[in-house]
Amino acid sequence: MGKGSRKRVAFISSFLPRKCGIATFTSDLINSLDAAAKGEFEAFVVAMRSENDLKYSNPVKFEVRQNVKNDYICAADYLNFSHIDVVCVQHEFGLFGGEGGSYINLLLNKLKAPVITTLHTILDSPDPAYYRSLVDVCEASQTVITMNKRGIDMLRDIYHVSGKKVRLIPHGIPDLPFVDSSYYKHKFGMEGRRTILTFGLLDKNKGIEVMLKAMPKIIEADPSVLYIILGMTHPAVLKQEGESYRFKLQRMVKELGCSEHVVFHNRFVKDEELHNFLCAADIYVTPYLNEQRLTSGTLSFAVGTGKAVVSTPYWAALELLDEGRGKIVPFNNSKQMTELIVHILEDDPLFYSLRRKAYDYGRLRTWPKNGQVYWKLLSSKRLPVRLKPAAVSVPGTLSNLEVPEPSLIHLKRLTDDTGLIQHATFTSPNRKHGYCTDDNARAAIAMIKYYAQYADPDALRFLDTYLSFILYSQSEEGNVRNFMRYDRTWLDDEPANDALGRLLWAFGTVIAKPPTPAYLSIAKDAFDKSAVHVEKQFPRGTAYSILGMCDYLKQFPGASDIKRQLEIAADELVTQYRENNLPDWQWFEDILTYDNAILPCALFASYLTVKKQKYLNIAQKTCEFFLENTFNGSHFSFIGCKGWYERKGVRAVFDQQPIEVASTVMMLRAAFDATGNHKFLTLQRKAFDWFLGENDLHIPVYDFRTRGCNDGLTPTGLNTNQGAESTISFLLSLLNLAESYAIIEKTKPTAETQRKRTSAKTVSVLLERPAQQTVHQKQSVKIKELSSKENISKNRPKGASKTVVDR
């Protein structure tokens, strides 16, 4: 059990006040469980939201937006940390996002608690996406409930679900008395009328026109007849088609001359009013147009209250009305509908026989009885705890990587209507330092990648804010300003920076993967304006410009001017290397400083774009040199910003910053793309794990509680400020890892090949070499001997690190 002795049950479903049959079902189920459990039950509802904003109250604890992938992941995390004993899913394909409602599997496959799923729809000829989605739901569930005997056969024969997993629990029915309808008719001013009722959300598949066509002859036989059509138009239909179907029906009523005998009640009625309408009705009709309806709450209610029922032969009706509990007419047959209803109205023994048989059958299915059955199942001590999540069929996610899901929560804290604020004091935005183009450019890139994987509308909203900032940073000539005060004035005499390169990188990313076509023109114009200044940069700015130009050429491969600029910039890095490299120092400068891996990354990208071998050769040498000095065989230890690492000098161990991880993750992916060597993907994951505690201090740098990233590792522990650069570096690393994971899944080798590739000899670049001390091992300093934490420079001239504001 969860906290205390009460059984904590989470329900994943639509929920009131959403106007939906499954929302009503779940509310009734919770009420019946509450009565059956006698105080030993606590409900947690995860409410599935459509686009309409609704105000939920208890027991709704969490809301999931239907088409936002990340909400499903966050819901799983919420439930896992809420000591839930069992999860009860109300499954209907249309409730969940993704093809075939597949997003629900993102949630189910991360849950630790056992899952019991009630299926409200089972398709007999499913499309592949619907088939796969439902199979995954069933595989993730310890028990699958169907409300119809036919459902058991369909699950076995079509979806290959073991009969041992399937339970039959019929749809619950209100526990109402068997009454004379005359008593209730006065509530609606219908005394003396013979009443026929159809209720439920209105859509074209309900076949109301079939019943309307039958009405003239029915009225001719009994002029007191009143047909009540109770229920609002289905919200999904209302959104797409408005009230066109209802208006069509109302026109039919007038044309048939039945206006005095047909009443439309266009509203979603609450339980008490619905019960009164049911009790006032003499005959209940469901003239649905096709058989593929396995459950029907409305028909169940009508049978349970002892109505004389006439229905078409859809699957739920065939079972509920069997053995003389109702009458069946063929689909779309108004003539037989007329004959049967007239017969029932004129034959009192038949009328009361139908009523009594229906009511007696309904006694077995009342909500109090269903509540007891569900409670016995949910409270069973034999329900297993899920120790290992099942595999997920939804592509492009991180669920199988055992890493945190990308979150925008901390970015929201740091973002205002101007842009992304640079620094934070713990998690609070530090307005003293204002904004910078560097951070807003990187944030824009993160939003492009995030939106490509999660389609979260918040990502587009943030993207627009960040793009607005970097567009404003451009002058008419294409030069770029970096630092903006909180009062929206630009800083004079800016320190040297890489803002131009990062701006081009951001616009290049938008050009390569525009969320909508409208972004492409804006990004291209801005890119072209600043591309002429590529040569006026320090090496890292040049490297970022190269990444931007490579992305530009993915969209416009024939852009010869950009291709020339790219080769000029790449050749500049080649020159830097040739002027500084020595046999024991394969690098672009005589010092390793900040954001080092972005330099070989840019040459790998250049090779992939223009196929010049010299770029690949130098990229491989410098990548290997970088790894020798940062990867110790078990984890990454990045160059510290308190002294850096000069050639023939002492390598600084601290402070290590998240930006180093981001560029390393990018470099290793580019190395894999250029060489096809899977060891780079293994090392990429090792680099990312620095955030999760695989580092010199063995403590996580990512904050799972705030969803932000701490600013770095210091000799005494974490710098617990969570500024923009750190959080964006984490997010970019995670999203790049997801992209690599998708590549692995598409090109997964055979088991034997995989075994060889992941053997101990290929896990590390270092382990391929003869056993000897590396430069990093010779010059590393014991953590306990390091000096205490110093203040970090607030400027960033050539070769300096971005500010990390001490807490």
Per-residue pLDDT tens over the stretch 753-784: 444 343 333 333 333 333 333 333 333 333 33
pLDDT at 477 > cutoff 70: yes
Q: How far is CA 213 from CA 210, 263, 333, 343, 346, in A?
A: 5, 15, 9, 17, 20
Lowest mean pLDDT among 106-120, 271-285, 381-395, 598-612: 381-395
Residue 797's pLDDT is what?
Answer: 36
When pLDDT is averaged across residues 267-282 and rounded to a whole number, the result is 81
Residue 53's pLDDT is what?
Answer: 63
Residues 34 and 43: beta-carbon distance below 8 Å: yes
Q: Round to whole Å and give the CA distance between 622 and 596.
A: 10
When pLDDT is averaged across residues 362-383 and rounded to a whole number, the result is 87
Q: Is the dihedral of CA 412, 417, 418, 423 positive or negative?
A: negative
Of 729, 725, 722, nearest to 706 by C-alpha is 722
The H or E element that residue 551 is part of is helix 539-555
- List the structure tokens of 343: 């017969």
Per-residue pLDDT tens over the stretch 414-448: 999 999 999 999 999 999 999 999 999 999 999 99
Residue 739's pLDDT is what?
Answer: 84
Strand 421-425 to 308-311 pairing: unpaired
pLDDT at 576 > cutoff 90: yes
> How many percent of the chain have pLDDT more than 90?
60
Q: Round to whole Å and give the CA distance between 355 and 172.
A: 18
Across 170-200, b (16+ Cβ under 10 Å) vs e yields bbbbbebeeeebeebbeebebeebbbbbbbb
Per-residue pLDDT tens over the stretch 211-250: 999 999 999 999 999 999 998 887 777 777 888 888 899 9
Of 798 and 802, the structure prediction assigns the larger pLDDT to: 802
Q: Is the dihedral of CA 748, 754, 758, 762 positive or negative?
A: negative
Residue 74's pLDDT is what?
Answer: 80
pLDDT at 597 > cutoff 60: yes
Q: How far is CA 167 from CA 23, 135, 172, 506, 704, in A?
A: 21, 16, 15, 54, 39
pLDDT at 627 > cutoff 60: yes
89 three-class SS:
strand
Per-residue pLDDT tens over the stretch 509-559: 999 999 988 898 899 989 999 998 988 788 999 999 999 999 999 988 888
> For residue 120, how many C-alpha atoms fall within 13 Å in the half-sphere facing its CB?
20
Q: Round to whole Å and give the CA distance between 53 and 620.
A: 53
pTM for the model stands at: 0.52
Q: Round to whole Å and give the CA distance between 585 and 124.
A: 67
Of 759 and 141, the structure prediction assigns the larger pLDDT to: 141
Task: Give the model's confidence band at 83: pLDDT under 50 very low, under 70 low, under 90 confident, else very high.
Answer: confident
pLDDT at 109 > cutoff 50: yes
Neighbouring residues of 615: CB distance < 8 A, sequence distance ≥ 6: 570, 574, 603, 604, 606, 607
Q: Round to whole Å and give the CA distance between 200 and 203.
A: 9
When pLDDT is averaged across residues 650-674 and rounded to a whole number, the result is 95
* Average per-residue pLDDT for the chain: 85
Residues 47 and 79: beta-carbon distance below 8 Å: no
pLDDT at 618 > cutoff 80: yes
Q: Round to whole Å and give the CA distance between 257 and 255.
A: 5
Residue 804's pLDDT is what?
Answer: 34
DSSP 695: S
Surface-to-core class of residue 150, CB atoms within 10 Å of its CB (0-12 exposed, 13-18 middle, 19+ buried): middle
Q: Round to whole Å and give the CA distance between 566 and 569.
A: 5
Q: ∠ at Cα 12 (10, 17), nearest 5°?
A: 105
The H or E element that residue 542 is part of is helix 539-555
When pLDDT is averaged across residues 679-705 and rounded to a whole number, the result is 90
Of 738 and 389, the structure prediction assigns the larger pLDDT to: 738
Q: How far is CA 27 from CA 271, 301, 776, in A?
A: 11, 15, 63
Tabulate helix, strand, coil % of the chain (nearest 5): 50, 15, 40
Residue type, 629: N
Q: Round to whole Å and give the CA distance between 535 and 609.
A: 19
Q: H-type helices in 226-320, by residue range?
A: 235-241, 244-255, 271-280, 297-304, 315-320
Q: Round to whole Å and give the CA distance between 736 and 433.
A: 29
- In 3-59, which ranges are E strands? 7-13, 41-49
DSSP 639: P
Residue 738's pLDDT is what?
Answer: 84
Across 564-597, b (16+ Cβ under 10 Å) vs e yields ebbbebbebbbebbeeebeeeebbbbebbbbbbb
Residue 507's pLDDT is what?
Answer: 95
When pLDDT is averaged across residues 257-283 and rounded to a whole number, the result is 86
Residues 298 and 321: beta-carbon distance below 8 Å: no
Q: Is the dihedral of CA 464, 470, 471, 473 positive or negative?
A: positive
DSSP 207: -
430 three-class SS:
strand
Residues 665 and 730: beta-carbon distance below 8 Å: no
Residue type, 654: F
Residue 383's pLDDT is what?
Answer: 63
Per-residue HEC secondary structure of 149-182 comes to HHHHHHHHHCCCCCHHHEEECCCCECCCCCCCHH
Task: Give the model's confidence band at 493: pLDDT under 50 very low, under 70 low, under 90 confident, else very high.
Answer: confident
Residues 351 and 333: beta-carbon distance below 8 Å: no
Residue 800's pLDDT is what?
Answer: 41
Q: What's the N-to-C CA distance of the chain in angstroms?
A: 41
pLDDT at 202 > cutoff 90: no
Q: What is the DSSP string of 352-389?
A: HHHHHHHHHHHGGGBHHHHHHHHHHHHT-TTPPP-SSP
Report the interhelical angle of 69-80 vs 437-454 (nearest 10°). Answer: 90
Per-residue pLDDT tens over the stretch 296-348: 888 888 898 889 999 999 999 999 999 999 999 999 999 999 999 999 999 99
Size of the chain in residues: 807
